[in-house]
Amino acid sequence: MIRRLSAGILILSGLVACQQPPKGKVLADKYCTSCHMAVTPDMLDKKTWTDHVLPNMALRLGIRVWSGNQYYPPMPGDKPAAISIDDWNTLVAYFKDNAPDKLPEAKAPAYKNDWANFELKIPKFTDSAFEAATTMVSFYPENGAILTSNGENMLTRWNNKLEAEHTWKLPSPAVAALYKTDSAGHTETILTEIGNIRALDASAGIITRLDVNDTASKQKDIMAFFKRPVSTLEADFNKDGLNDLLVCAFGHNQGGLYQLRQMPDHSYKQLPVWEIPGAIHAETGDFNNDGFTDIMALFAAGDEGIWLFENDGKGEFKSRNLLRFPPLYGSTSFQLADMNGDGKLDILYTCGDNADYSMVLKPYHGIYVYINKGDWKFDLGWKFPVNGCTKAVAADFNGDGKLDIASIAFFADFKNRPAEKFLYFEADPKTLNFTAHAIPVEKEGRWISMDVKDYDKDGDPDIVLGNYAAGFLILDQYKPDWKEYQPFIVLENKYGK
C-alpha cells in the first residue's frame, strides 16, 4: 500500500513538473512584459532573434553586448543589470531553441487584377537628380489642388491638371497637413514638419502655418522643438471657444502626445497628454458623451496599442487601453469607422512598420477590423494579411452605402506579391467581408503616403499616393522596378460615370 501510494505521488509529481513552463519562458514573461505585450519565439526566425532583436533588448536591460551577440555582465562601476547574466543566457537559449529557422509566408486570398472603378492620372513632372522621396500627399480642400512634400524639404502645390504651380523651401519635410477655413472662406494650412526622417530624438520638428494660396507666404511657427512629430489635429478641449491643437510626436526613444492649448492672445501652451514615444495617429470626439472632446491615439513603439484619453474638462485626461499589440507588429495607422453598419464606431487598424531590428516579412502584418461591441470593447471581425502594411482608409468608393478599404504597403513583398503595395477592398453588401482588387500600379512607385477625398468634386472619393522610391529595402538581392522620379499618382474614381 505504501509502495503504491509512493508511486502515485511520483507520477503526480512528474505530471506537475511537465506542466511547468520552461524557465526561459518564465524569464521572458517577467522581463519582456515589463515594457510591452508578451512575445513568443515563433513570431520571428532564429537568426533575427539572436543577431538583432535580443542583442538590442540586452542593452536595454543593462547586459553588455560584444561582437554582435556575445553577452557579458556589467563592468564594475556600471549601473547594475535588471537581469543576471545566467538568467539572460537562459532566456536567449529559450528563444534560440524554439524559434523557427524561417517564418511562414502569409496566406492571403487571391486578388482580382483589374482597375475596379479607378483611372490612373499621372502628374506633369521632370526628372531630377534625386529619386522621389515624397513624405506627404494631401488633397487641398479648394480647387482640386494637391500638396506634396519630400525629403529635399520642398513643399509643392499642384493644380487640378496635376501641374506644379509653386514650391516653398521648408526647414524639414512636411508629413501632414491640417486645413483651417474661417467664416470668410479663407483657408490656412497647418503643416507638421517631422524634423528628421531617421529615427533620432533630436528636437527638430515644427508645427507651422502657411498660406499656400499666397506664393509670397512665409511659414509662421506655432510650436517648435518636437521630436519627430507626424500629425496634428484641431479641437476645443476646454470649451473656451478657442481651438486647440493635438500633436502626435513619434520620437524615437522619447516622444509623446501633446495638447497645444490656445491662449486668449492666440499663442499656444504645450501640455503633455502622455509622454512616451510612438504616438503615430490620433482621432478626437466626445467618446463618453459627457460634452467634452476626448482623444483616441495609437502608439507604435514598444508598448503598442490604442488608448482612449477621456477629457475631464479641466485640461487633464484619464487613459484607458482599448487594444494592445505585440511590439513586433509595427503598428502604422488606425481609423474610426462604422464598418458593419450597426451605428457604433469600429476600428480599422494596420501594422507593417519594418524599419527596426526585425526587418523580415511577417505573416501577421496586415489590415484588421475590430468591431465595437459597446462601451469601447472590441472583437476582431476581419483581417487580411498584407506584408509591411502602412495605412488603410475606409470610404464608400463604389456608392453602395458600405465602407470599402484602400491600403498601401511600404514594406510589401516586392518579389512575390508586388501588387500588395496598393490594394482596394470592395465591401460585401451583406457581410463583413471584402473582395481584394490588385489595381495595377505596382510599377508606378512605392507608396508611403495616401490621402482620400473627392478632389474632382464629382461625388465620389479619389485617392492620391505618394512615392518614396529611395532606400529602406529589406529584401536581399532585390532591385526596385518601380518609377524612381515620379512623385505621386492619382487614382480618379470613375464610379457612376
Distance of alpha carbon 147 from alpha carbon 139, whole angstroms: 6
23 — phi, psi (to 5°)?
-60, -35
Distance of alpha carbon 251 from alpha carbon 489, whole angstroms: 29
- Full-prediction pTM beyond 0.85? yes
H/E segment holding residue 457: none
Residue 218 and residue 229 in contact, taking contact as beta carbons nearer than 8 Å: no
Nearest to 413 by CA among 357, 367, 465, 352: 352
H/E segment holding residue 436: strand 434-437
Distance of alpha carbon 341 from alpha carbon 462, whole angstroms: 22
Q: Residue 62: what residue type? A: G
What angle (nearest 5°) sits at the alpha carbon of residue 393, between those of residues 391 and 398? 140
Cell readout for 360 is 523580415
Cell readout for 256 is 509623446
pLDDT score for 496: 63
Long-range contacts of 84-90 (CB under 8 A, 24+ apart): 87/27, 88/58, 88/61, 88/63, 90/23, 90/24, 90/27
What angle (nearest 5°) sits at the alpha carbon of residue 453, between those of residues 463 and 329? 60
DSSP tag of 473? -
pLDDT score for 475: 64
Distance of alpha carbon 480 from alpha carbon 486, whole angstroms: 14
Cell readout for 460 is 465620389
Q: Residue 423: what residue type? A: L
Length of the chain: 497
Give 375's contacts (C-beta < 8 A, 6+ positions apart): none
* CB atoms closer than 10 angstroms to residue 312: 11
Distance of alpha carbon 308 from alpha carbon 120, whole angstroms: 38
Q: Sheet containing 118-121: which strands, arranged edge to edge?
A: 118-121, 488-493, 462-467, 447-453
Long-range contacts of 307-315 (CB under 8 A, 24+ apart): 307/274, 308/376, 309/257, 309/273, 309/274, 311/237, 313/238, 313/239, 314/238, 315/237, 315/238, 315/259, 315/261, 315/271
Distance of alpha carbon 467 from alpha carbon 482, whole angstroms: 9
Cell readout for 17 is 513538473
pLDDT score for 218: 92
Give 398's contacts (C-beta < 8 A, 6+ positions apart): 116, 117, 404, 426, 495
Query: How does pLDDT run along the chain (497 residues), one tens digit per residue?
Result: 334 434 444 444 444 445 688 888 999 988 887 677 889 999 999 999 999 999 999 999 999 999 888 999 999 888 999 999 999 999 999 999 999 999 999 888 889 999 999 999 999 987 677 899 999 999 998 778 999 999 999 999 999 999 999 999 999 999 999 998 877 778 899 999 999 988 888 899 999 999 999 999 999 999 999 999 999 999 999 999 999 999 999 999 999 999 999 999 999 999 999 999 999 999 999 999 999 999 999 999 989 999 999 999 887 899 999 999 999 999 999 999 999 999 999 999 999 999 888 899 999 999 999 999 999 999 999 999 999 999 999 999 999 999 999 999 999 999 899 999 999 999 998 899 999 999 999 999 999 999 999 999 999 999 999 999 977 666 666 788 899 999 999 999 998 66
* CB atoms closer than 10 angstroms to residue 374: 8
Residue 114 and residue 485 in contact, taking contact as beta carbons nearer than 8 Å: no
Residue 135 and residue 448 in contact, taking contact as beta carbons nearer than 8 Å: yes
Q: For the chain, give every domain's residue range.
A: 23-98, 112-132+325-496
* CB atoms closer than 10 angstroms to residue 183: 5
Nearest to 393 by CA among 139, 100, 135: 139
Nearest to 152 by CA among 487, 480, 483, 409: 487
